[in-house]
Structure 1
Amino acid sequence: MKPQSSSAQQALAALGTRLREVRIEAGLTGRALAQRAGWHESKVSKIEYGRTQPSPDDIRDWCNFTGVPEQTEEFVASLRAVEGMFVEWRRMEATGLRRAQEAVVPLWERTRGFQIYNPRLIPGPIQTRGYIAALLDGLRLRRGLIDDVEEAVQVRVDKQRVIGDGDRRFAIVLEECVLRFSIGRPEVMAGQLGHLLAVSSLPSVSLGIIPLDVDRSKTWPVEGFWMFDEKRVHVELVSGHLTISQPQELRLYKKVFGDLSSQAVFGREARTLIAAAIDRLDSDRS
């Protein structure tokens, strides 16, 4: 079975390329490897070009017959990463939004260092109840889900207790436009912006905002992502949820987060931008 996203497909193709390199270094043709493994000869090329997803047993046979059994664990780990990379929203939310919110509670609880970048929305840990309700109700309507918004909102609010734990750190970077995107009624957005001012002073939170007038020629806005203890990254796509755990990809996201952070303002300057957004909202309402 093939992965169901272009990112997962690229990861599967990358795994196939690494397996092909191992075969070539062993001096085996694709046909010779297939004969040793008892496979149809087309299976080797399909795996190498990402058209067929190998099983863990396929990888074990591949490594044994190419003389690199010590690499089996690494390749199987790569396969597991591909298998877990992408989950469609329709699967995750099949029984409603509450279950999807509960699914990440264990990850939040065991994570000590959060790095979050969002170019569109204020992220979950620092959302107000009204902001959460507006977002989740919009998701429910857009995706035709059952109405368990009230229960899902409570789960997300309950998850926010992790911010109060002294041994956790939240590094959050937002684009300034996030402060201007209206979510919910004006009073909901006003409350959310006021909450941002409050959480920006918490010792566990580092809140950075990238001003609209910053030169973005070197590091432009990218997809929103969460990094958990620098061990995995979550990316929310239009069609589903992407999980990244490959070390080389994690290093890339870590670097991008650092680059984005270097363009952000923090502390008093960030609070000035939030206050300006509140003033603009008040002006629009009057």
Structure 2
Amino acid sequence: MPPHPSSRVQTAREELAGRLREIRKDAGISGRELAARCGWSESKSSRIENAKTPPSDQDIRAWCRACTADDQVPDLIATNRQSADAHVQWRQLQRTGLRRLQESTGDLYQQTKVFRVYVSDVIPGFLQTPGYATALLSSIADFRGTPDDVSDAVAARIRRNAVLSNGTHRFSFVLEESVLRYRLCSVETMAAQLGHLLGVMDLQNVAVGIIPLSAQRTAWPMPTFTIFDDSRVHADTLDAASTLTQPSQVELYARAFVRLSRGAARGAAARSLIAAALASLD
């Protein structure tokens, strides 16, 4: 099989192959012995170890069983599954405009019971007003050169965000204070956005923490990420949207969220930071 056209996917496949190779070596068995224990050809073992053939979930289970490494199966299967779709190029996601991207997560939002969201760049999508979302998505569409369907994308985002008012879902947000002060829209739009943020804080199923610029930190500012229950993480970068499903990866981000949360102001202290950001608009 030729290398995957996406270098990110190919890299993920090679990393998985490397982990399987190390598991075999740690078990002290040859590729021939592994193949015999698994009941397949030696060439198959070689193709998997050299990232020529992506293994199936069953292949991974058999490999680990042959090497007495069953405890590594969950992480390896998650790695295998995300190698094909974890690193999705933004251009591929947005090639038909931004509306499709907003709608693509609708089912996931309905299924998730607990959302943990950390943001260091913009107001979280869950909490955006139509005006703020329009300014942000217009900037994204212009930068990426995607079809201009911003109004439809904003409408889709607002529909998707209706999950916020459903009491069966719980949300915990941690924002950097700088997010409150970045000027991505007009003064009037930003004032409305900050006012909306104050209103959202009254919802019983929503917790908002804000890390002050002056806080003594135990965790550095990180790229934005969202944790869906304890099953997956969405971590966005400039060129890709990464979906992480390995248990060890989810645990890492959950640990980061706990550490970031410790330095966040809440309640009246958080409202004071928002009020100060509002006052600075003048």
Cα distance, 1:202 vs structure 2: 1.3
2:132 matches 1:128: no
Indicate the RMSD between aligned Cα atoms, in angstroms. Answer: 2.8
Are residues 64 and 249 of structure 1, via their aligned partners in 2, closer, same or farther at CA, if it must alter by over 3 Å?
Answer: closer
**Deviation by residue 1:143-202 (Cα, 9 ceiling, x = unmatched):** 111111111110101112111111111100000000110121111111101111111121
Q: How does 1:1-286 map to 2 (within 5 A)?
A: 1-2=3-4, 4=6, 12-30=13-31, 37-39=41-43, 43=47, 45-47=49-51, 52=52, 54-56=54-56, 59=59, 63=63, 66=66, 74=74, 75-216=76-217, 218-282=218-282
Please, which runs of 5 or more residues in structure 2 have no aligned partner?
none
Cα distance, 1:5 vs structure 2: 6.2
SS at match of 2:172: strand
Q: Percent identity?
A: 39
**Deviation by residue 1:62-101 (Cα, 9 ceiling, x = unmatched):** 6289466968964444311322211001111111111111
Are residues 78 and 212 of structure 1, via their aligned partners in 2, closer, same or farther at CA, if it must alter by over 3 Å?
Answer: same
Are residues 273 and 54 of structure 1, via their aligned partners in 2, closer, same or farther at CA, if it must alter by over 3 Å?
Answer: same
The 1-side partners of 2:152 and 2:6 are apart by: 30
SS at match of 1:117: strand
The 1-side partners of 2:156 and 2:178 are apart by: 27
Equivalent pair of 1:34/1:41 in contact (CA under 8 Å): yes
SS at match of 1:39: helix
Are residues 219 and 77 of structure 1, via their aligned partners in 2, closer, same or farther at CA, if it must alter by over 3 Å?
Answer: closer
Amino acid at match of 1:265: A
Equivalent pair of 2:121/2:179 in contact (CA under 8 Å): yes
Greater than 6 Å deviation, 4+ residue runs: 69-73
Give the aligned length.
Answer: 276
SS at match of 1:114: strand
Please, which runs of 5 or more residues in structure 1 have no aligned partner?
none
Equivalent pair of 2:64/2:73 in contact (CA under 8 Å): no
The 1-side partners of 2:96 and 2:81 are apart by: 25
Are residues 64 and 123 of structure 1, via their aligned partners in 2, closer, same or farther at CA, if it must alter by over 3 Å?
Answer: closer
The 2-side partners of 1:261 and 1:281 are apart by: 27
SS at match of 1:107: helix
SS at match of 1:220: coil
The 2-side partners of 1:264 and 1:79 are apart by: 36
Q: Give the structure-2-normalised TM-score.
A: 0.87
Cα distance, 1:22 vs structure 2: 3.2
Moved more, 130-139 or 56-65: 56-65
Amino acid at match of 1:126: L
